[in-house]
Copies of this chain bind each other. A is one copy, B any other.
C-alpha cells in the first residue's frame, strides 16, 4: 500500500482503466469491457491521445492501475482570457478508496494544470455522490454551480 505514481495513460492501460469505470457505484453509464465494447473504447482513447487539449492519467501502484482521471484544457474568453482545466472521469479502485489516492491525483492535476498555463480548475459530480462533494470541498473547491446534462 505504497503511494502510487501518476503518469499519462498508455494504450496498454485501457482495459484496466475501463475496469475502474465498471466499479463505479452509480453504474448509469453502462461501462463494461467486452469484445463488443472494446472498439468504441479504443476509438475514444485514440481521440483523447490525438487531442492537444486532453490528457488521460493513471495512478499506478507496482503493476496495478489504482486510479485514473482526465484533464481537458479549455481556452476561454471569460476572466480576461483565463485558460481553465476540467477534471473528468475521476476513478479510484474500490478497495483502495479513502486511502489518499484521490487527493494525490487532484493535487497532481492542479500542479499539472498550473504548470501548463491554466488559472482555474473545474469539475462536476453527480448530486448523489455526497462523499465526493465533501472530498472536493475539503480540497478547496467551491460548490458554486449547478451542473446540467442532456443526451443528444
Does residue A100 face the partner (Cβ distance < 8 Å to B)? no
Does residue A52 face the partner (Cβ distance < 8 Å to B)? yes
**Please, which residue of chain B has its CB at the minimum distance from the CB of A121?**
B150
**Please, which residue of chain B has its CB at the minimum distance from the CB of A74?**
B72
The interface centre, meaning the residue of A89, A110, A140, A144 with most chain B CB atoms within 10 A of its CB, is: A144
Please state if A79 and B29 are interface contacts (CB–CB under 8 Å): yes
Docked Cα-Cα span, A123 to B55, in Å, equals 20
**Please, which residue of chain B has its CB at the minimum distance from the CB of A45?**
B77
A121 CB, nearest partner CB in chain B, Å: 5
A side interface size, CB within 8 A: 66
Docked Cα-Cα span, A114 to B148, in Å, equals 17
Please state if A147 and B120 are interface contacts (CB–CB under 8 Å): no
The interface centre, meaning the residue of A74, A81, A148 with most chain B CB atoms within 10 A of its CB, is: A148
Please state if A122 and B122 are interface contacts (CB–CB under 8 Å): no
Please state if B114 and A152 are interface contacts (CB–CB under 8 Å): yes
User: Which 9 pairs, one residue from A and one from B, show the smallest C-beta to C-beta distance?
Assistant: A145-B147, A44-B81, A47-B75, A141-B148, A124-B145, A40-B81, A29-B79, A147-B147, A141-B150
Q: Which residues of A are at the interface with B, using a C-beta cutoff of 8 A?
A: 17-18, 21, 29-31, 37, 40-41, 43-45, 47-48, 50-54, 56, 70, 72, 74-83, 85-86, 88-89, 110, 113-114, 118-127, 133, 136-137, 139-152
- 25 residue pairs bridging A and B, Cβ less than 8 Å apart: A29-B80, A40-B80, A40-B81, A44-B77, A44-B82, A45-B81, A47-B83, A50-B75, A51-B52, A53-B54, A76-B88, A118-B152, A120-B149, A121-B149, A121-B152, A124-B146, A124-B148, A125-B146, A140-B150, A142-B149, A143-B147, A143-B148, A144-B148, A144-B149, A145-B146
